[in-house]
């Protein structure tokens, strides 16, 4: 069964979707499929569905949601009680061969980051591009996440941001500074306090001969940090700004500065 959570929830066999239209049933399915093969306890599911204010009928209502999910899965030609199994005090999505897009993303992202650390930028860029192409929007964008799902969503979004940063780094090392400018500008707009992304944008602009825009990118970041957080940019980023301002930025020095910006960024 194909499970997609990097965007709207999609769980299907061939062309038959088993995702229910009801919001709470969809939330139960999402909570089960984010970790296929692992038991999710009844208290965990109740917490995800209702937080601190569960109804007295919570356990019975949960059983109704599970029943609805099993009906959908049976319609796809599966043994529904095998796919959503009861295990002790909980339930498990027990498809013997699930294809989860988040797992594929993590595999490709880790391979790309390993290649980048090994100095193989071409392989890194390919693997990271493939990983990022699996995203169809924010993770589980159509599921009203509670406390349990929110943790997984935040984890995945952080991994996505790390993969984007690594991909930009690989492509800049390959000399693709013009090609990444648009994506970098969009990423810094989405993450106005992210110092590493701003450093990469500044370097890409500098390599395109757009020094004034590189300096403007630094000023935008500094304004955001000081106004919203009361912080100054990290020292390596300030040095990158100074080197661009003074026309003293060299390629080897730029790589070293980027590395220290990543280390200094919380």
Cα–Cα distance for residue pair 78/55, rounded to 1 Å: 32
Q: Residue 163: pLDDT above 50?
A: yes
> Are the C-beta atoms of 240 and 234 separated by less than 8 Å?
no
Kind of pairing between the strands at 16-17 and 10-13: antiparallel
Q: How many CB atoms lie within 10 A of CB 224?
A: 17
| pLDDT tens readout for residues 2-12 | 999 999 999 98
Q: Residue 252: pLDDT above 50?
A: no
| pLDDT tens readout for residues 70-85 | 998 888 778 888 889 9
pLDDT class of 216 with cuts at 50, 70, 90: very high
pLDDT of residue 194: 94
pLDDT of residue 264: 57
The helix-helix angle for 211-224 and 235-245 (nearest 10°) equals 150
Indicate the burial class of 157 (C-beta count within 10 angstroms; 0-12, 13-18, 19 or more): middle
Tell me how far apart the terminal alpha carbons of the chain are, to the nearest angstrom.
Answer: 39
Q: Residue 148: pLDDT above 60?
A: yes
Bigger pLDDT: 92 vs 258: 92
pLDDT of residue 266: 53
Write down the pTM of the prediction. 0.89
With tokens 């993969």, the residue in question is 163
Query: What are the structural domains, with CATH classification, of the chain?
Result: 2-98 (1.10.10.10), 177-266 (1.25.40.10)
| pLDDT tens readout for residues 23-80 | 999 999 999 999 889 999 999 999 999 999 999 999 999 999 999 999 988 887 788 8
16: three-class secondary structure by DSSP: strand
Q: What is the mean pLDDT of residues 73-102?
A: 87
With vertex at residue 86, the alpha carbon angle to CA 80 and CA 92, rounded to the nearest 5 degrees, is 80
46 contact partners, CB below 8 Å, separation of at least 6: 54, 58, 59, 62
């Amino acid at each position: 069964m194909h499970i997609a959570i990097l965007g709207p929830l999609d769980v299907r066999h061939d062309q038959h979707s088993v995702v229910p239209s009801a919001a709470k049933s969809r939330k139960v399915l999402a909570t089960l499929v984010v970790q296929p093969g692992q038991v999710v306890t009844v208290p965990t599911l109740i917490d995800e569905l209702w937080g601190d204010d569960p109804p007295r009928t919570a356990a019975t209502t949960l059983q109704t949601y599970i029943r609805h999910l099993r009906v959908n899965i049976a319609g796809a030609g599966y043994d529904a009680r095998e796919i959503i199994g009861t295990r002790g005090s909980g339930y498990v999505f027990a498809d013997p061969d699930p294809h989860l897009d988040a797992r594929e993303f993590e595999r490709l992202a880790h391979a790309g980051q390993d290649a980048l650390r090994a100095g193989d930028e071409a392989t890194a860029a390919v693997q990271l591009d493939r990983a990022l192409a699996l995203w169809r929007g924010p993770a589980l964008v159509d599921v009203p996440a509670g406390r349990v799902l929110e943790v997984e969503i935040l984890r995945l979004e952080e991994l996505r941001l790390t993969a984007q940063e690594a991909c930009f780094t690989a492509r800049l090392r390959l000399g693709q500074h013009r090609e990444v400018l648009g994506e970098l500008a969009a990423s810094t707009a989405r993450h106005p306090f992210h110092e590493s992304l701003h450093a990469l944008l500044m370097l890409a602009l500098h390599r395109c001969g757009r020094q004034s825009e590189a300096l403007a990118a630094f000023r935008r970041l500094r304004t955001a940090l000081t106004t919203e957080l009361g912080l100054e940019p990290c020292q390596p980023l300030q040095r990158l700004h100074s080197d661009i301002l003074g026309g003293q930025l060299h390629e080897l020095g730029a790589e070293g500065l980027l590395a220290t910006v990543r280390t200094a960024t919380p």
